[in-house]
Structure 1
Amino acid sequence: MKQLNYIDLFAGASALSEGFKQLKFNPVAHIEMDTEACLTIKTREAYHHLKEINKLDTYYDYISGNISRDSLYKHIPSEKANSVINAEISDSSLKHIFKTIETNLKQLPNSELDLIVGGPPCQAYSLIGRHGVDWENDHRLKLYVQYGRFLKEFKPKAFVFENVPGIYSANNGSHFTHLKKYFRKLGYEIDDRILNAKDYGVLQNRRRVIIVGWRKDIQFSFPELKPIVHNYTVEDIFSDLSPLTPGQVINKGKYRKEPSDYLKQFDLSNGVDFYTQHISRPHNSNDLKIYKIAIQKWEDENKRLKYTDIPEKLRTQKNTDSFLDRFKVVDGKGISHTVVAHISKDGHYYIHPSINQCRSISVREAARIQSFPDNFFFEGSRTAAFRQIGNAVPPLLSLAIANGIKKLFQKI
């Protein structure tokens, strides 16, 4: 089977790409507007290239802090480096982006684009983000049209479009109706499902809409995805990491015990003897007192703390009628609730389950909840890393989708 070429739109940290890369799909371009996320993509491209040529020691030297980023990037072939396009997808940028993609394609033995993947920013579709949305003029709501312009330009055989379940009910359902009509007008059949990442090995309850489209001249369908049944819990991804205090930073750490069966089965620890970016944010004394109450209530009663349960002297907000679940403990004995980009702003919604580690979860812990392997390195500040993680498609979900897509391509 020939190598399948794809592009990743609104790529973020390239988490949706990760499953496709693992199955040897070839990324012709990743388009992302966030500069720090683009550096993360480029660093991950270095990982995959160095793995392919059996020189991963160079990559591990970099994430260990032994060599500079520039030194790492010198090992990336130009076509890999040029695949990362740091640009906002808009009317003014499309000409430049299209030209770059065409140049990248011409350098390949097979210059056909087979697939487009991507998930436009979803804040406007989410139920939380509905208040004050301008349905006529908010450009985020029209990003599916920009996605479609890539379909029109390159005519790939298929595409994968990811978003939040709120896209179904946005603007009373009319938005999704328009989206489907638009893609069909471009010459694509489409089918969609709500997939929950927890059914594919991710220790997180995370529901996402996956739309798969294919050109009307080919035999394709929504891929068959087989759920993974297991009894793993969050403790299986936290227990081998060193305990942290608020504000503590472990840039490179040694595992304190053997990887759990979960980490081995899903290859999150990668067979190396260290992890990176185990970084906890600092907290003030007031928040720590609330965290302790929240953890104790969860441990003793298996109940979430409501804001009205907090002693008045510890409350900093006057609103006691709505958003009462502002402090939430991650379920160590089960799976996590959904990790979202708000984790970059504060950690109140992601409190570590151990009373002995009264803090919010670290960058590496959040990454593991999202099913990122330990050798996945996030560029930028702690805030940037949390944002990239919260916005990501879990790589294990990406791998399940990529497996299904690849099987369909094999039948064409």
Structure 2
Amino acid sequence: MPTRFQVIDLFAGPGGLAEGFSAFRDKKGSRPFEMALSVEKESPAHQTLTLRNFLRKFADGFPPQYYQYLNEGGDEPDWASLYPREWTAATTETLQLELGTDSAKKTIRHRLAELKQKNGNACILIGGPPCQAYSLVGRARNKGIKGYSAREDKRHFLYKEYIEILRTLRPIAFVMENVKGILSARVDGELIFDLVLNDLQSPNFKDEYELFPVLARDMDKKPLASDFVLRSEHCGIPQARHRVIVVGIRRDIARKIPPHIRNRGLVRESFEPVTVGAVIGGMPKLRSGLSRSDTSEAWIAALVGASRQIRRSNINLTPSERIEFQRILERCQAEWEGKSSKLRRSPASVGIIGPDCPKDLSLWLRDKRLKTLSNSDTRGHMASDLSRYLFAAIYSRVADRSPKASDFPQVLAPLHSNWDSGKFADRFRVQRSNYPATTVTSHIAKDGHYFIHPDPMQCRSLTVREAARLQTFPDNYLFKGNRTEQYVQVGNAVPPFVAYKLAAALHAILG
């Protein structure tokens, strides 16, 4: 068995899977997984990915100019001039292509032939085809499209591009990731996941792949679809993110793996949750902004007005909870008015990660060379939404749950025709400090209502960096593009710490 593996990352996004695999070290301190090729079609994610692949070229630590850029801002260094060899290597291995197009097939075919000639089959294929066609939200949206045909929606069959490359490359192993909705998605009555499994197990006539579910089971029995569901909150991730993970190992290698290793599963579940507060509670306190005429004074005035409005409202809580609610509200108002000149919309420091965060995750996230946190400026919100965020954050702290639409005072109800319909009862959702976050999705790019910060004093939605922390991206991971594009990248990514655990498990099996 080779000691080093070339990794090909398809549908790579900003590089969550690649980050976990490339960061893994074996017992000797070596990195057995080396990125050889990354493919992503979206320009902002491709820029992020290219920069990260460039930084991975420095085995002894990132260049000092990178930390200067993160800590001091200003123009991004000209990496091509400073480090031409490393930058050329990164741009060569990071391709901006739309898989499924003729031009992409031609380019990929050529690059794979080069890799096979150089490394043989000592490769690992990773990636996850786009999930919009499989997700429950996406499927609901498709039903509303006149004349929509699932059979004609090419997104349903992008996984076949993955299969085609699997056929061509014949890697030692592969890792495929997708949303849980793929388990129930159908085309003309056929379950998409059944089609995927059949194709993955027989990508060509010479080699078949044995599939290894993430959870422990009897490998002599046919796997159930549920065996492939990884629940991130049970794997040391501060987020209830449920994803389908399929790992395949070529049968000529798999048959040599002892039964006790084959049956133990890839990831050991832990039911000791990592909470939102454990990873973002110690970050610098920031205020939100106003979407119009934003100043600290105007923001405080808007929240003081919101406080008075809420105080006069009838709130659906027990008498003791109402007293606690009012106490928190009054304390927030006093703090706002007392710190008017100190309220910031971007951090001046890194903050801390508290003792509640597991040590391995804390070490993974933090970088002692950072003096501040990138991708951390706050959004501007409408004053009416600030009132709702303030109410929701205090309510969730007092009632130990995020409020539903029916819990909001009528004066705070948005002018939405479906507000009282029950269809969007949790339109405003607080990410509570004492629990793992709900799934971070690309929807966070739209309005932030599902991702309200638990601290009512800050009265805002999560920043890109806070969402990235919940996704377990290291603090030194820089997301390119505008803020909306950064949110999309974070929401669509595979949590890197999950990928790290998968890399460790796969290495142990192949070792």
Q: TM over 0.5, yes or no?
A: yes
- The Cα shift of 1:102 comes to 3.2
The worse-fitting range, judged by mean Cα deviation, of 133-142 and 180-189 is: 180-189
Alpha-carbon distance in structure 2 between the residues aligned to 1:89 and 1:396: 26
Taking the TM superposition and a 5 Å limit, the aligned residue runs for 1:8-407 are 8-23=9-24, 24=31, 25-50=33-58, 52-64=59-71, 65=73, 68-71=76-79, 74-75=82-83, 76-92=86-102, 93-103=104-114, 106=117, 108=118, 110-131=119-140, 132=142, 134-171=149-186, 174-186=191-203, 187-192=208-213, 193-219=228-254, 223-228=265-270, 230=272, 232-247=274-289, 249-250=345-346, 253-257=348-352, 260=355, 262=357, 264-266=359-361, 267=363, 268-274=365-371, 275-313=373-411, 314-319=413-418, 320-321=420-421, 322-407=423-508
CA distance, structure 2, for counterparts of residue 218 and residue 235 of structure 1: 43
Specify the code of the residue in structure 1 equivalent to 2:268.
Answer: K
Query: Residue type of the partner of 1:21?
Result: S
Q: In 2, distance between residues paired with 1:215 and 1:77? A: 34
For residues 262 and 72 of structure 1, the distance between their equivalents in structure 2, rounded to whole angstroms, comes to 38
CA distance in structure 2 between the aligned counterparts of 1:303 and 1:259, rounded to whole angstroms = 23
| Percent identical residues | 32
3-state DSSP of counterpart to 1:330: coil
Please give the alpha-carbon distance, in whole angstroms, between the structure 1 residues aligned to 2:120 and 2:246: 25
User: How far, CA to CA, are the matches of 1:309 and 1:128 in structure 2?
Assistant: 25
In 2, Cα distance between equivalents of 1:363 and 1:356: 19
Give CA-to-partner distance per residue, 1:149-176, whole Å, 9 cap, x none: 1011111121111011111111266211
How far apart are residue 349 of structure 1 and its match? 0.1
Seen in structure 2, the aligned counterparts of structure 1 residues 11 and 69 have a Cα distance that, compared at 3 Å, is farther
CA distance in 1, matches of 2:252, 2:351: 55
Q: Cα RMSD between the aligned structures? A: 2.2
Q: How far is the alpha carbon of 1:330 from its aligned partner?
A: 0.4
* 1:340 to partner: Cα distance: 0.6
SS of match in other structure, 1:59: helix
2:358 & 2:74 partners in 1: Cα distance? 26
Question: Do 1:249 and 1:277's aligned partners in 2 also have CA atoms closer than 8 Å?
Answer: no
CA distance in 2, matches of 1:307, 1:258: 33
Distance 1:229 1:36, change over 3 A: same
Q: Deviations over 1:345-390 (max 9, x none)?
A: 1100000001101000111111111111101110111111111110
Extract unaligned runs of 5+ from structure 1. none
**CA 1:244–1:105 in 2, change beyond 3 Å: closer, same or farther?**
farther
**Structure 1 residues 288 and 196: alpha-carbon distance in aligned structure 2, compared to 1, 3 A threshold:** same
Q: 1:229 offset after TM fit, Å?
A: 5.7
State the 1:258 CA deviation. 6.4
CA contact under 8 A between 2:212 and 2:249: conserved in structure 1? no
Structure-2 change in CA distance of 1:262 and 1:212 (3 Å): same
Name the amino acid aligned to 2:178. N
SS, match of residue 436 in structure 2: coil
Report SS of the residue matched to 1:262: coil
Q: Is the 8 Å Cα contact of residues 379 and 461 (structure 2) preserved in structure 1?
A: yes
Check the 8 A contact 1:32/1:86 in 2, yes or no: yes
CA distance in 2, matches of 1:72, 1:238: 35
CA-CA distance at 1:69 after TM superposition: 4.4
2: CA distance, partners of 1:310 / 1:73: 56
Structure 2 CA distance for partners of 1:336 and 1:258, relative to 1, 3 Å: closer
Alpha carbons of structure 1 residues 73 and 405: separation in structure 2 relative to 1, 3 Å: farther
In the alignment, which residue of structure 1 is the partner of 2:8? 7
Give 1:272 shift: 2.6
Contact kept? 2:80, 2:87, Cα under 8 Å: no
The one-letter amino acid of 1:254's match is S
Aligned equivalents of 2:393 and 2:181: distance in 1?
Answer: 30
Structure 2 Cα separation of the partners of residues 104 and 323 of structure 1: 49
- Write the letter of the residue equivalent to 1:42: T
The alignment partner of 2:490 has SS state of helix
- Given that 1:253 and 1:276 are in contact with CA atoms closer than 8 Å, whether structure 2 keeps it comes out as no
Q: CA 1:160 to 1:347, structure 2 compared with 1: closer, same or farther past 3 Å?
A: same
Question: How far 1:79 sits from its partner (Å)?
Answer: 2.8
For residues 264 and 284 of structure 1, the distance between their equivalents in structure 2, rounded to whole angstroms, comes to 39
Q: Distance in 2 between matches of 1:300 and 1:379?
A: 38
The structural deviation recorded for 1:231 is: 5.5
The answer as to whether partners of 1:363 and 1:385 remain within 8 angstroms in 2 is yes
Shift of 1:103: 3.5
Q: Please tell me whether the aligned partners of residues 237 and 274 of structure 2 are also in contact (alpha carbons under 8 angstroms).
A: no
For 1:26, the aligned partner's letter is E
* Alignment check: 8 A CA contact 1:121 1:140 kept: yes
Q: 1:123 to 1:78 in 2, by over 3 A?
A: same
Measure, in 1, the Cα distance between the counterparts of 2:97 and 2:179. 23
What TM-score results when the alignment is normalised by the length of structure 1? 0.92
State which structure, 1 or 2, has the greater radius of gyration over its C-alpha atoms: 2
Structure 1 residue 91: deviation in Å? 3.6
Partner residue in 1 for 2:307: none
Distance in 1 (CA, whole Å) between partners of 2:116 and 2:485 is 31
- Partners of 1:392 and 1:158 in 2: CA distance: 21
Q: What is the alpha-carbon distance in structure 2 between the residues aligned to residue 254 and residue 165 of structure 1?
A: 38
Deviation at 1:215, TM superposition (A): 2.2
